[in-house]
Amino acid sequence: MPELPEVETTRRGLLPHVAGRTIAAVTLRRADLRWPIPPELPQWLAGQRVEDVRRRAKYLLLDTAPGSALLHLGMSGSLRVLPADTPLRAHDHVDIGLDDGRVLRFNDPRRFGCLLWQPAGDVHPLLAGLGPEPLSDAFDGGHLYRLSRGRKAPVKAFLMDQAVVVGVGNIYAAEALFMAGVSPLRAAGKVSRDRYVLLADAVKAVLGHAIERGGTTLRDFISPDGAPGYFEQELNAYGRGGAPCRRCGRALRQALIGQRASVWCPACQR
């Protein structure tokens, strides 16, 4: 599933092409993706100016005066800005037509994505109760330390809890823990404040670098301009179980933590 850097890459790619444009029409080629698409959504959006393209966690929001179209790419979704006469491909489920003759086209082969509606001034239930954005000032070591007290869950599972901080998925949690030298197996409540400072800084560094490099190349992810991400070749932990640690040379270990594959160095991460 695309993680936060992939979604942020998509947002930045769409912003100059979509923000400020007026939506001419919306074409729905099916009634649902992961959940039913509100049938009124085309009439709510038609004639409205896109004021901004925002991201909250792994969701994208197209803001208009009456509300926001809420999109999630799921496991295989993609958004493209294309000439309106571009031939349809399989799984091109939604076209949001723009006033310049182009369309924002949503393709989703597995249909785990979504297209929903958030009225202006409301917070959609999917966005309620989320933690702070990891690149914001609200997220730091003190925040992690306060929420972790008394927690027995492994720190990796704690870091991936969307009520703690949003958008730190499996790949980037593994990489941040490696950078900070923290074992993913350690109980969250047993990590010191100083080490949480290192971990929060590592989360910001890893995510920021991945966004700069275009996200992580996954099997299904392509950025809006058609170019893949370039971060995967630099991964130090994720997907490298059994390979030598790039710091110390010792074999990386792999196990399931919270039903997710986790890789770490037993020497460098304590």
Annotated catalytic residues are: 2-3, 58, 260
Helix, strand, or coil (residue 160): coil
Cα distance between residue 68 and residue 78, in whole Å: 18
Pairing of strands 92-98, 23-28: antiparallel
Q: What is the largest CA-CA distance in the chain?
A: 60
Q: From CA 190, how far away is CA 153, in angstroms rounded?
A: 10
Q: Which residue, 87, 114, 115, is CA-closest to 103? A: 87
Helix 4-18 to helix 193-212 angle (10° resolution) is 40
